[in-house]
């Protein structure tokens, strides 16, 4: 966009509103569009000039947009958020009044995205404000839900004019808020709404990738690893090959899930996406090297916590135990393995605080999870493993 006066900008807005060009209007109401950087658009009281050129209801939207730009120019992100919230609520009423059309959905996408981004900036600027962390984002989510309800309530069945086609974009924005404020339980009704939608396959691929990424992450936290694998794999395979950052982000969650299901990622893939921390982990788990596992957990603790995968990665330790005990079984070449032999192996690999009872408890968990076929003879302090396939492949358990 070349530089234009505010008057010219307003004339174009009026023209595009009359021609119902939602995409063009969306650009002119976006905080990330070129015009937003020009100082002459940062007007504290734009009512006078706007009302000379625009009619209702677009005039109110533009007035609030210009006021928001002014607040941002003053680094007042909390004020900007409040204005954007009012703008979004005002637009929601307009959207609801447009009974037979959905041409304004692109405007909704832009306003809702900007609302979330401003809420994040306002959260960071809350110093000295008597609000609990996440409260602004929570209020933003309530505002987004207003738009979602309008779209979800549209009962038109034709894809060309139903507002329900806009539901997934809003769900993805809500996911980003709920994950940030750690309220994942609020995702459940949104997932149910999308999974039952007749337009499920009509949403854009980019929106579907984002959706499946978040649903996969939620399934991972719910310990539903099969669903997590399915959704994260879809997101990874369909993500554009040039979007290396996004593919890396997906892999950070997909790799631990794959490993919990018994699949081992290749070194080449992890090197390609520069997550060698996970390759060190893969080797430690495969080798049953508990000492190396503990060292990696300590060394990369900050990385794992920052990514939100520390607890999931820690669950891989049970697989490392299984692989170590399999090595002991192969060395002793007997189906009656003394618990003491397993404890000796654990102590050798740095688990100095594990006694016979705790070793027995670890074995009992492995048997319960089906990772070892057999039983514990408490009287003889031995693990009696099956003569047929005593350590089933982990993939057969998933």
Q: Residue 288, exposed/middle/buried by CB under 10 A (0-12, 13-18, 19+)? A: buried
Provide the pLDDT for residue 265.
87
What is the extent of the structural domain holding 348? 315-396
Looking at the structure, do residues 178 and 327 belong to the same domain, yes or no? no
* Alpha helices (H) in the chain, listed in sequence order: 6-18, 22-28, 47-53, 58-73, 77-97, 105-124, 135-152, 167-180, 187-195, 205-221, 225-238, 244-260, 267-272, 276-287, 290-299, 301-307, 310-314, 317-332, 339-348, 356-368
Provide the pLDDT for residue 337.
93
Q: Residue 389, exposed/middle/buried by CB under 10 A (0-12, 13-18, 19+)? A: exposed
44 to 14, 25, 29, 83: CA distances (angstroms):
21, 21, 16, 12
355 assigned to some structural domain: yes
38 to 41, 52, 60, 315, 350: CA distances (angstroms):
6, 21, 21, 52, 62
Reading phi first (left if > 0) and then psi (alpha if -120 to 50, else beta), residue 336 is in beta
DSSP 8-state code for residue 336: E
246 assigned to some structural domain: no
Provide the pLDDT for residue 258.
92
DSSP string covering 359-389, please?
HHHHHHHHHHTTSS-EEEETTTTEEEE-SS-
Query: Contact, 359 vs 343, CB < 8 A?
Result: yes
CA neighbor of 234 nearest in space, from 263, 214, 264, 261? 214
CA-based torsion, 46, 52, 53, 55: positive or negative: positive
Provide the pLDDT for residue 266.
87
Provide the pLDDT for residue 113.
97
335 assigned to some structural domain: yes
CATH number at residue 383: 1.10.10.10
Provide the pLDDT for residue 130.
61
319 assigned to some structural domain: yes
Looking at the structure, do residues 34 and 175 belong to the same domain, yes or no? yes
109 assigned to some structural domain: yes
Q: How would you label 60-84 residue by residue, b for 16+ Cβ within 10 Å and e otherwise?
A: bbbbbbbbbbbbbbeebbbbbbbbb
Enumerate residues 6+ apart whose C-beta is below 8 A from 343.
354, 355, 356, 359
205 assigned to some structural domain: no
Q: How many domains does the chain have?
A: 2
353 assigned to some structural domain: yes
271 to 160, 335, 351: CA distances (angstroms):
44, 39, 30
For residue 345, cis peptide bond before it (omega within 30 degrees of 0): no
Predicted TM-score (pTM) of the model is 0.88
Task: pLDDT tens for the chain, 398 residues: list them.
Answer: 456 789 999 999 999 999 999 999 999 999 999 999 888 889 899 999 999 998 899 999 999 999 999 999 999 999 999 999 999 999 999 999 988 889 999 999 999 999 999 999 999 887 555 667 789 999 999 999 999 999 999 887 677 788 999 999 999 999 999 999 999 999 999 999 999 988 888 899 999 999 999 999 999 999 999 999 999 999 999 999 889 999 999 999 999 999 999 888 888 888 888 888 788 899 999 999 999 999 999 999 998 998 889 989 999 999 999 999 999 999 999 999 999 999 999 999 888 888 999 999 999 999 998 999 999 998 888 999 898 889 998 876 55
207 to 39, 155, 275: CA distances (angstroms):
34, 22, 25
Q: Please give the structure tokens belonging to residue 44.
A: 């504290």
DSSP string covering 183-220, please?
-GGGHHHHHHHHHT-TTTTTS-HHHHHHHHHHHHHHHH
**Rounded distance between C-alpha atoms, residue 205 and residue 224, angstroms:** 24
**Rounded distance between C-alpha atoms, residue 340 and residue 381, angstroms:** 8
Unique residue bearing structure tokens 């609801």: 96
Provide the pLDDT for residue 158.
73
254 assigned to some structural domain: no
């Amino acid at each position: 966009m070349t530089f234009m006066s505010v008057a010219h900008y307003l004339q174009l807005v009026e023209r595009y509103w009359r021609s119902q060009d939602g995409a063009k209007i969306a650009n002119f109401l976006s905080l990330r569009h070129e015009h937003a950087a020009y100082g002459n658009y940062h007007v504290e009281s734009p009512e006078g000039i706007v009302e000379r050129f625009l009619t209702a209801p677009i005039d109110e939207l533009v007035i609030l947009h210009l006021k928001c730009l002014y607040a941002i120019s003053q680094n007042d992100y909390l004020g900007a958020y409040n204005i954007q919230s009012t703008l979004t609520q005002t637009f929601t009423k307009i959207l609801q009044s447009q009974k037979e059309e959905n041409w304004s959905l692109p405007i909704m996408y832009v306003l809702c995205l900007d609302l979330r981004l401003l809420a994040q900036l306002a959260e960071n600027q809350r110093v000295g404000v008597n609000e609990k962390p996440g409260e602004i984002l929570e209020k933003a989510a309530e505002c987004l839900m207003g738009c979602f309800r309008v779209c979800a309530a549209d009962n038109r069945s034709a894809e060309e004019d139903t507002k329900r086609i806009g539901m997934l974009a809003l769900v993805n924005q809500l996911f980003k808020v709920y994950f940030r404020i750690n309220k994942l339980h609020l995702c459940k009704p949104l997932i149910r709404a999308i999974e039952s939608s007749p337009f499920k396959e009509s949403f854009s691929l980019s929106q579907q990738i984002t959706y499946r990424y978040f649903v996969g992450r939620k399934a991972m936290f719910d310990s539903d690893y099969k669903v997590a694998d399915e959704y994260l794999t879809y997101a990874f395979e369909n993500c554009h090959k040039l979007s290396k950052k996004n593919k890396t982000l997906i892999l950070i969650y997909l790799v631990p899930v794959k490993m919990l299901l018994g699949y081992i990622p290749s070194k080449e893939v992890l090197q390609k996406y520069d997550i060698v921390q996970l390759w060190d982990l893969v080797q430690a788990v495969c080798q049953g090297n508990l000492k190396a596992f503990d060292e990696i957990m300590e060394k990369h603790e900050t990385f794992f916590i920052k990514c939100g995968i520390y607890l999931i990665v820690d669950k891989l330790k049970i697989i490392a135990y299984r692989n170590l005990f399999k090595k002991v079984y192969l060395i002793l070449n007997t189906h009656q393995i003394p618990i003491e032999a397993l404890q000796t192996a654990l102590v050798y690999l740095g688990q100095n605080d594990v006694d016979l009872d705790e070793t027995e408890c670890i074995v009992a968990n492995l048997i319960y999870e089906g990772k070892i076929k057999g039983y514990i003879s408490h009287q003889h302090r031995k693990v009696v493993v099956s003569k047929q396939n005593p350590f089933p492949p982990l993939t057969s358990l998933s």
